[in-house]
A and B are shown apart, each in its own frame.
Chain A
Amino acid sequence: MATYYTGANGSLFVGGTQVAKVRDWSINASVETLNVTTTGDTAQKFVYGRQNYTGSCTALYYENDAGALEMASMLQNIIRTTATTPTATQTLRLKLADSRIIEAAVLFTQADIAVTTGDLVSVNLTFQVNGGLTTATLGSA
């Protein structure tokens, strides 16, 4: 039976822990192309180069029952008083179903916190995947 997915199927995990109040996530996957055209060719030729993945998500600024900020793990390397450890990465898993997952080490690179009268405080985060994906069943057959 055909299966379609909606936002209701989506979830996001950081370091193996699901971030409870995520509004949306997106990931942009690309592969660079290397121009291998030589003199004598009448059309441009290319081969694949390196992959690159970036993405973003929006999460509600939310404290759980214990009073802890749910999304602290996503902000800790951006909003801080000391220098960020250069090699710090976090494991991010974007999931639609158990068989539809993207997982990778990421660097959260930007956090836009929006505080608006009459609306919940939310944080828009962008991330950069460090290296290749460790799980990529989101794109497999």
Chain B
Amino acid sequence: MTTFPSVRPSSRVWTPGSRPQTVYQALDGVEIRFVHGTRTVGQQLSLVFNNVTEVVGKSITDHYAANGTTYGTFALPAEVFAGMASYNYTNEATNAWRYAGPPQVTYGPPGYQSVSVELLGVTA
């Protein structure tokens, strides 16, 4: 499993997932839920890297390509969570991540670009 480039994002949006469960609703409205596991699934992480140099931007798109685009899974380095004293709860021990789609690259002045990526948590 590869590791995402060690780059600090400009902004980060984390959407916690939920435990897999099945919901049954009776005719009278009473709801019963069955939890199928103890791991959280469906986590999402949006990262935006504003005005990074071409080298840094390319390291992200290169990682996307080398990772089989949206196929492979990878780990996230601590740099991605810069600014948080504790981030383990966003990245469970054996969790991996994969790209939800291609990175978006917006070109700015010569030598600079902004890159945004959407990641999905994968229970590995």
Contacts and interface: CB of A to CB of B under 8 A. Distances in A.
Given A39-B8, A47-B112, 17 more contacts: A34-B51, A34-B109, A35-B50, A38-B8, A38-B10, A38-B82, A39-B9, A39-B11, A39-B12, A40-B8, A40-B82, A40-B83, A41-B8, A41-B83, A49-B108, A49-B109, A49-B112
Contacts of A50: 109
Interface string A39-59: 111000001011000000000
Which of B9, B51, B52 has most chain A Cβ within 10 Å? B51
Interface of B: 8-12, 50-52, 81-84, 108-109, 112
A37 B10 contact: yes
Interface residues of A, number: 12
Nearest to B8: A38
A36 interface: yes
A99 to B, nearest CB: 31
A120 to B, nearest CB: 44
A128 B35 CA distance: 66
Nearest to A50: B109
